[in-house]
């Protein structure tokens, strides 16, 4: 059976290759969409993940950062600092708005830092300083590339011009690129004083962040406190609704196309062998062995297609990332396995339709044509 299946696949190598290419093309489409989805999902929470906080403290009723508005009187941070188990706390002011540089506009998180910041500033730099001074800003390197900016160039936030003093790495995403300025500059922009948006709390060694968050909520009035991992989950959940959900929907549509095309390819492949399979049946092959052969061929083509698509994706994605820097692509092993499993299931189902027809064929019909 194995030998016959293998021979069947090699009997018409061009047709088999075309089947692999067709299914591989469909899988490649889904892999690209998955890679965009994964890349953006990860990048969208890059800031809250990298900020050095065990617990985030914010205005009551707020539970995340993306598109949220949170304001606390800064004296509440002094109360937080006094809670047992708190090693340190740093406040940031935060605004999401549109920034401009030359003709380029972008939606951004503006983070106002109490400089020198040890917990909330950029965590990787491409060039320049990571701590902005008055009238200065640190912008994502990707934005700088897009807008063709150099260190020392201006960037406009609302009606104020800032001088760029640093390019940060991994702070850019479709939904929330992070720009760092000083807290006092952001206070001027927002016409606010003695206000912070979030408190980033560092816990003393051995203190459980969840326990500490509960203690902070008990000790300080009208604040919510969340362990960092929960805050990241909340932020990702919110961000997913805004844009990333679109990519997920596109992935689903691409996946539906892939399912249809894989089914079409496998159906065509098995249909082409209908006569040979009927002959095999006439020669004594059981229905079970015919089903097994058809199933093995479908699985073999699918696995080969996934391998081809994965190799192509790995080759093309770095090129695509280089050509389109704003887009973050990340192909995970889990995504490949998911695509392979779904593809195999669809292929087996698609192969079953002609196989069932063959199983019902009168073996004599093989000799009637």
One of 11, 105, 204, 365 touching other proteins (CB under 8 A): 105
327 Cβ contact partners less than 8 Å away, ≥ 6 residues apart: 36, 39, 40, 174, 320, 321
User: Which window, 122-130, 162-170, 186-194, 205-213, contacts other proteins (CB under 8 A)?
Assistant: 186-194
Buried b (16+ CB within 10 A) or exposed e, 81-97: eebebbeebbbbbbbee
Q: Would you state the structure tokens that stand for residue 27, as one six-digit string?
A: 């899988």
- CB of 299: closest distance to other proteins in angstroms? 19
For the chain, where are the E strands, in sequence order?
55-59, 72-73, 86-101, 104-113, 125-128, 136-140, 154-157, 160-168, 177-182, 195-196, 198-203, 223-227
Residue 218, Cβ density class (10 Å: 0-12 exposed, 13-18 middle, ≥19 buried):
exposed
Stretch that binds other proteins, among 66-74, 163-171, 337-345, 357-365 (CB under 8 A): 66-74
Q: Does 100 bind other proteins (CB under 8 A)?
A: yes
- Least spacing, CB of residue 204 vs other proteins, in Å: 27
- Closer of 214 and 233 to other proteins (Cβ): 233
Taking residue 15's Cβ as centre, other Cβ atoms within 10 Å add up to: 14
CB of 115 to other proteins, least distance (A): 21
Give the angle 336-337-339 at the CA atoms, nearest 5°: 65
Q: Sketch the per residue contact string, 313 through 342, with other proteins: x for CB under 8 A, - otherwise.
A: -------x---x-xx---------------
Count the residues of the shown chain that bind other proteins, applying the rule CB under 8 A: 76
| Binding-site string for other proteins from residue 112 to residue 141, where x marks contact by CB under 8 A and - marks none | ------------------------------
19 is an interface residue for other proteins by CB under 8 A: yes
Q: Which is nearer to other proteins, 158 or 286 (CB)?
A: 158
The label of the residue with tokens 């500490």 reads: 212
Mapped onto helix, strand or coil, the DSSP state of residue 179 is strand
Please list every residue from 212 through 241 that binds other proteins, using CB under 8 A.
Answer: 222, 234, 237-238, 241
Q: Which of 78, 260, 337, 341: binder of other proteins (CB under 8 A)?
A: 260
Selection from 23, 35, 24, 21 nearest residue 251 by Cα: 35
167 or 172: CB nearest other proteins:
172
Instruction: Give the one residue of 51, 57, 95, 296 binding other proteins; rule: CB under 8 A.
Output: 95
User: In a 10 Å sphere around its CB, with 0-12 CB exposed, 13-18 middle and 19+ buried, how is residue 157 labelled?
Assistant: buried
Contact present, 162 and 137 (Cβ < 8 Å) = yes
* CA-based end-to-end distance of the chain: 25
> Which 237-256 residues touch other proteins, going by CB under 8 A?
237-238, 241-243, 245-247, 249-250, 253-254, 256
Say whether residue 145 binds other proteins (CB under 8 A). no
Shortest distance (Å) from residue 62 CB to other proteins: 7
Which residues have a Cβ under 8 Å from the Cβ of 186 and sit 6 or more positions away?
93, 94, 95, 110, 111, 112
Residue with tokens 């051995």: 206
Q: Determine the interface stretch with other proteins among 41-49, 84-92, 118-126, 185-193 (rule: CB under 8 A).
A: 185-193
- Under rule CB under 8 A, residue 266 binds other proteins: no
Q: Which of residues 68-87 bind other proteins (CB under 8 A)?
A: 68-69, 71-73
Tell me if 106 contacts other proteins by CB under 8 A: yes
Q: Which of residues 293-312 bind other proteins (CB under 8 A)?
A: none
């Amino acid at each position: 059976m194995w030998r016959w299946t293998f021979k069947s696949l090699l009997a018409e190598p061009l047709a088999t290759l075309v089947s692999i290419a067709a299914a591989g093309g469909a899988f490649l489409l889904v892999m690209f969409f998955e890679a965009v989805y994964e890349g953006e999902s990860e990048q969208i929470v890059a800031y809250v993940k990298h900020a050095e906080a065990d617990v985030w403290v914010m205005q009551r009723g707020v539970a995340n950062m993306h598109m949220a508005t949170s304001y606390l009187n800064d004296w509440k941070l002094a109360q937080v600092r006094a809670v047992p188990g708190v090693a340190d706390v740093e406040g940031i002011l935060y605004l999401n708005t549109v920034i401009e540089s030359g003709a380029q506009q972008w939606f951004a998180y503006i983070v106002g830092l109490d400089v020198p910041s040890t917990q909330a500033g950029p965590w990787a730099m491409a060039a320049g300083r990571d701590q902005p001074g008055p009238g200065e800003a640190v912008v994502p390197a990707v934005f700088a590339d897009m807008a063709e900016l150099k260190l020392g160039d201006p960037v406009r936030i609302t009606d104020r011009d800032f001088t760029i003093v640093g390019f940060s790495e991994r702070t850019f995403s479709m939904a929330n690129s992070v720009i760092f300025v000083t807290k006092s500059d952001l206070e001027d922009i927002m016409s606010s004083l003695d206000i912070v948006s979030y408190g980033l709390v560092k816990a003393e060694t051995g203190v459980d962040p969840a326990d500490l968050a509960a203690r902070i909520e008990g000790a300080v009035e009208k604040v919510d406190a969340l362990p960092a991992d929960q805050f990241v989950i909340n932020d990702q959940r919110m961000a997913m609704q805004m844009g990333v959900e679109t990519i997920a929907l596109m992935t689903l549509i691409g996946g539906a196309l892939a399912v249809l095309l894989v089914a079409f390819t496998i159906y065509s492949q098995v249909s082409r062998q209908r006569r040979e399979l009927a002959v095999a049946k006439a020669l004594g092959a059981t229905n079970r062995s015919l089903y097994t052969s058809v199933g093995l061929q479908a699985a073999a083509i699918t696995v080969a297609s996934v391998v081809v698509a994965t190799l192509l994706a790995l080759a093309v994605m770095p090129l695509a990332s280089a050509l389109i820097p704003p887009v973050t692509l990340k192909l995970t092993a889990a995504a490949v396995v998911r695509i392979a499993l779904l593809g195999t299931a669809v292929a087996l189902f698609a192969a079953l339709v002609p196989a069932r027809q063959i199983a019902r064929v009168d073996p004599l019909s093989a000799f009637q044509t």
